[in-house]
Structure 1
Amino acid sequence: MRAGIISGRRQLEFKTFSRPSIAAPGTAVIDIALCGICGSDVSAYRDGEGYPPFLSGHEWVGTVVDVGSDVHGLHRGDRVIAATPPACGRCPMCLAGHAERCAELTALSFGTHPLTPEHGAYAERITMPVEALVQVPDGVSDEQAVMVEPATVALHAVRLQPIRLGDAAVVIGAGPVGLFAAQMLRLAGARAVTVVEPRARRRALALELGANTAVAPDDAGDAVLAATSGIGADVVLDCVGTESALRSAVELSRPGGTVVMVGVATGAVSISPLSWLSKEITLRASLAHLNHEFAMTMSFMESGQLRSEPMRERTIGLDGLEEALSSLASGGDEIKVVVDPRL
């Protein structure tokens, strides 16, 4: 069986692995139905930053074909997605009451979990630790489920900085996470959500999905002031992760407002401490998600309150993966490309 692994700057290697069929204790073997190309996959391919093999294809949905002899509550035929493992409850952080900072939450991503797969889901099958799997309800389709991971990144960010009913919010970047964040902010009670995005097609989609206003970066300042009676946004989510986006987030925030860093900036960025100090800005950093949040996301999808279908633009086979990564890394405008390894 072959699996695509991002191994360096503009390098995608298809390596050969044995096709798993029998699950070891504590694991399950899953047939991959769909796997989304994540923005972090694109960044790793474009920039050549070190990237654990497991992350090459981590937004996926599939069907269980076997479970370990010690596994309970999961069965052959169950549909599942990959999630953050739950907190261990035993480490110093958990025992100190900081379970949301448990090291186990990032063990798979950093390759330190003893059952970390050798590859990600750019493959026909994968063997996963059962603790990192969440079952998909019948009311959520595969096409929705493959988008649950980026949607849960957005949900976590919005829950991290509670929105008060009537707050004005800004989302910088209308990629999948930003578009989900705009929807989550409305669900949380924001009265005005402004999306800042340079591409007109994505701005139109932001409006379709419920944003009150969607503007180009050059027009953001005036638009936010108009939406907030001249004071600026209560909460700004930076879903891009560049120096200019972070700087803009501070500029668009009201005095005493909050900036939530969601997008990941690679390398160092420069900031103006005085601009932060003069506004008494609160900075929150939002890292991925927590295990229990995946069920929340799927409940919103199942009820129709959270839409994902307008973001999916193309489904490809494994043979088209390198072309898609190259296109996206060169600035391609597709919002979400999905890989079906059965094609």
Structure 2
Amino acid sequence: MKTRAAVMLAPGEDWKVAEIDLAPPRFGEVLVEFTHAGLCFSDEHLRHGGLGDLPAVGGHEGAGIIREIGEGVTGLAVGDHVAASFIPTCGRCDWCVSGHSNLCASAANSPGSADPDTFRFSLDGNTIPANCGLGTFARHSVVSAKTVIKVDPEIPLDVVAVVSCGVLTGWGAAVHAAEVRVGDTVVVVGAGGVGINAAQGARFAGAAHIVMVDVNPAKLEFAKRFGSTAEFDSPAKAAEYLWSVNPVAGGADVVIVCTGNTTQAVVTSAYEMLGTRGRLVLAGMSQDVFEPNVHLPGTQIVFREQTIRGTIYGSCNPRHEVPIILDLYRQGRINLDELVSATYRLDDINDGFADLRAGKNLRGVVAHG
């Protein structure tokens, strides 16, 4: 069959919207009609050529409806509403069975790791990969059944789309990776789609103070709706405030970095807000994913018993936690509708990414169709 998709042909170019060929599902695969796709900085990293092979169909955050089932697929049916999971959950590898399915061994999200035998898209007669094995920037995609999660059909699919990546990444960064505790003072650096949900996770975990740091005043104002208790446009201003609210630690108990381009300067300024026995969590990537961007005073980390760690997918188990987050949304206990600040047609995807880079949106969503 043919489908319309946004394709990145070479590093640094704009997305090209084209009609491309799509092969039918094989064993263990499903055909998904993606109704919505989130615009995430990770696809910007793909655009710069550091996160996967090009050319490729973009998109790793999304939601849609199953239209066809391949042989050997169980637990899913035609018509099911699903969330995309940019890391699969095979349920068999050591990481999955030990409760760390965000590190599933069958993931294909690192440069050069995608198996050409899994490529179902073709452009000009040549097979091409889909970002993270998903390609949510295509109206239709054939994906492994391990990369979709069945959801309640009553929940709007644009909401499901943003939960599939940005919400879980931020939420889990606070709840799982940072292990925010009742009474903690938490700083979130970067008030975008991931950072806002780190604030929601910190609030849910019982943080006493949630401090947002971002240079964009509109995002800081928006953060107040998601649990922020104080907002600053620079780490230096935040650091002064932290001493006043948490003098024993001399800084934050937790600092979570959620910036779209996490440079060495960003990491260093984040560390300078960290208090004694504090936990610094890196949830945002650098534009060059191999860039050495952590250069910190190790002996001070020893003296103050501080912890530095990274997190992918918020250290969540997506098949378990996507339904949990959506149930909390249904109960009115977390905000998700407000995350979708702009909706674009597929033909306008380059405008959407321009708005993302300019900091105009909390989360932009492409609506297929």
Same fold (TM over 0.5): yes
Aligned-pair CA distance for 1:213? 0.9
Give the TM-score taking structure 1 as reference length. Answer: 0.89
| Stretches of structure 1 lacking an aligned partner (at least 5 in a row) | none
For residues 274-323 of structure 1, what are the alpha-carbon distances to aligned partners after superposition, in whole Å with 9 as ceiling and x for unaligned? Answer: 54344332011101243323223222222222212223222111111123
Q: Which moved more, 1:47-56 or 1:150-159?
A: 47-56
- C-alpha distance in structure 1 between counterparts of 2:330 and 2:252, whole Å: 31
Q: Deviations over 1:125-152 (max 9, x none)?
A: 0111111110111342112111112111
Letter matched to residue 141 of structure 1: P
Aligned to 1:37: 39
* Structure 1 residue aligned with 2:155: 140
Provide the C-alpha distance between the structure 2 equivalents of 1:314 and 1:44, rounded to a whole number of angstroms: 22
Following superposition, the deviation at residue 100 of structure 1 comes to 4.6
* Residue 306 to residue 112, structure 1, CA distance change in 2 (3 Å): farther
2:140 aligns with 125
Structure 1: how far apart are the matches of 2:103 and 2:356? 33
Kindly indicate whether residue 47 of structure 2 is the aligned counterpart of residue 72 of structure 1: no
Q: Which residue, 268, 274, 278 being the options, matches 2:292?
A: 268
Is 1:85 matched with 2:103?
no
Check if 1:340 corresponds to 2:367: yes
Q: Is the 8 A contact 1:195 1:211 kept in 2?
A: yes
Structure 1 pair 103–310 and aligned structure 2 pair: CA distance change class (3 A): closer
C-alpha contact 1:4 1:56 (8 A) present in aligned 2: yes
Equivalences, count: 337
Q: Distance in 1 between matches of 2:101 and 2:136?
A: 26
What's 2:308 paired with? 283
Q: What is the distance in 1 between the residues matched to 2:301 and 2:197?
A: 27
Task: Check 1:263–1:248 CA distance in 2 against 1; reply closer, same or farther (3 A cut).
Answer: same
Residue 126 of structure 2 corresponds to which residue in structure 1?
Answer: none
CA contact (8 A) 2:96 2:104 kept: no
Q: Distance in 2 between matches of 1:134 and 1:227?
A: 41
Secondary structure of residue in 2 paired with 1:147: helix
1:131 and 1:89 map into 2 onto residues whose CA distance is 11
Find the partner of 1:221 among 239, 243, 258.
239
Following superposition of structure 1 onto structure 2, how do residues 206-217 of structure 1 map, counting pairs within 5 Å? 206-217=223-234
Change (3 A) 1:186 1:102: closer
Identical-pair percentage: 23
Structure 2 CA distance for partners of 1:41 and 1:99, relative to 1, 3 Å: closer
Q: What SS is found at the alignment partner of 2:351? A: helix
Quote the Cα distance in structure 2 between the aligned partners of 1:255 and 1:126: 48
Q: CA deviation at 1:337?
A: 1.4
Aligned 8 A contact 1:250 1:276 in 2: no
Does structure 2 retain, via aligned residues, the 8 Å contact 1:193–1:213? yes
Unpaired runs of 5+ in structure 2?
121-128
User: Do residues 256 (structure 1) and 316 (structure 2) align?
Assistant: no
Relative to structure 1, the CA distance from residue 57 to residue 257 in structure 2 (aligned partners, 3 Å threshold; closer, same or farther) is same
Q: How do 1:319-334 and structure 2 match up within 5 A?
A: 319-329=347-357, 331-334=358-361
Q: In the alignment, which residue of structure 2 is the partner of 1:155?
A: 171
Residue 18 (1) aligns with residue 33 (2): no
Give 2:254's aligned residue.
235
State the 1:102 CA deviation.
5.0
* Counterpart-to-counterpart distance in 1, 2:53 and 2:323: 26
Contact 1:166 1:190 in 2 (8 A): yes
Q: 1:102 to 1:220 in 2, by over 3 A?
A: closer
Q: CA deviation at 1:160?
A: 2.1
TM-score by length of 2: 0.83
The answer to whether the 8 A contact 2:100-2:317 is kept is: no
Aligned to 1:226, what secondary structure does the other structure show?
helix
The 1:55–1:106 alpha-carbon spacing in structure 2 relative to 1, beyond 3 Å, is: farther
| Structure 1 residue matching 2:317: 3-state secondary structure | coil
What CA distance in whole angstroms lies between the structure 2 residues aligned with 1:319 and 1:114?
Answer: 29
Letter in 1 for 2:108: A
Range that drifts further, 291-300 or 25-34: 291-300
Aligned residue type for 1:18: D
Which SS does the other structure have where 1:182 is aligned?
helix
Distance 1:186 1:134, change over 3 A: same
Q: Is the 8 A contact 1:87 1:102 kept in 2?
A: no
